[in-house]
Amino acid sequence: MSSLKSLFQNIAIKNAIKKNPRKKSFKNLEQIKHVGIIFERTGDDVAAHVAKLAKFLHERQMQIDVFAFVNLKKPTQELEQKKGLTLFYKRDLNWFGKPKTEEIIAFTQKKFDLLIKADFSVSYPLAYICASSGASLIAGSNDDNKAFYDLIIEGKTDNPNDFHQQLIHYLSVINSTESTNKNVTYA
């Protein structure tokens, strides 16, 4: 069963890439206006790092949409009380892990200037979202899903804060002059 599931996952990814008409564009931090952030919510610490990144980008007048995959069949009472991000669960996926809800499909069709895979997970639903996203630029860590990223951030550790700092640094220097990236700090 597992190999059959993997076969369908690979076919779905290939079809998503083939049908994806997105136009890649490397924009710097000053040019980015709309950002999508995805991650697997494995705990409050991961969510806190992503919230810090989202806040940093929002303070720069960017529109932010955050989607998190929770590897549970349905929400717990604690998760239902969380605000500020959209959660999706196993029930929102088909039998081989492809997102099936209108909300997730609409998210992949948004024309983000930047889509950030903001963690180190390698879950299939997030890989599928990256492969089918209409984002101009997709950024992520050097993980098993790197084939779907346009900008790969190589880190010395698996520390989300270090990863986000490096991402901000590279976004501040892409296609920019020296004067535009002087005051960008992410701490």
Counting the structural domains of the chain, the total is 1
Mean pLDDT of the chain: 89
CA dihedral 154, 6, 40, 89 (to 10 degrees): 170
In a domain, 168, yes or no: yes
CATH number of the domain to which 121 belongs: 3.40.50
In a domain, 186, yes or no: no
Q: What is the pLDDT of residues 139-185, one digit of tens each?
A: 999 988 888 999 999 877 788 999 999 999 999 998 766 544 455 66
Q: Is the pLDDT of residue 105 over 90?
A: yes
How much is the pLDDT for 186?
A: 61
Q: Is the pLDDT of residue 128 over 60?
A: yes
Distance CA 144, CA 170 (A): 21
How much is the pLDDT for 136?
A: 96
Q: Is the pLDDT of residue 1 over 80?
A: no
The pLDDT > 90 percentage for the chain reads 72
In a domain, 109, yes or no: yes
Q: How would you label 49-80 residue by residue, b for 16+ Cβ within 10 Å and e otherwise? A: bbeebbebbeeeebebbbbbbbeeeeeeeeee
In a domain, 123, yes or no: yes
How much is the pLDDT for 145?
A: 87
In a domain, 187, yes or no: no
128: tokens are: 């599928």
123 close to 37: Cβ distance less than 8 angstroms = no
Q: What is the pLDDT of residues 78-103, one digit of tens each?
A: 877 777 779 999 999 999 999 999 99
Determine the structural domain holding residue 27 and report its residue range.
Answer: 2-181
In a domain, 134, yes or no: yes
In a domain, 78, yes or no: yes
Distance CA 18, CA 10 (A): 12
Distance CA 175, CA 177 (A): 7
How much is the pLDDT for 180?
A: 47
How much is the pLDDT for 187?
A: 61
The pLDDT > 70 percentage for the chain reads 92
**Nearest residue to 132 (alpha-carbon basis) of 18, 8, 24:** 18
How much is the pLDDT for 158?
A: 82
Distance CA 55, CA 144 (A): 27
- Classify the C-alpha dihedral 123-128-131-136 as positive or negative: negative
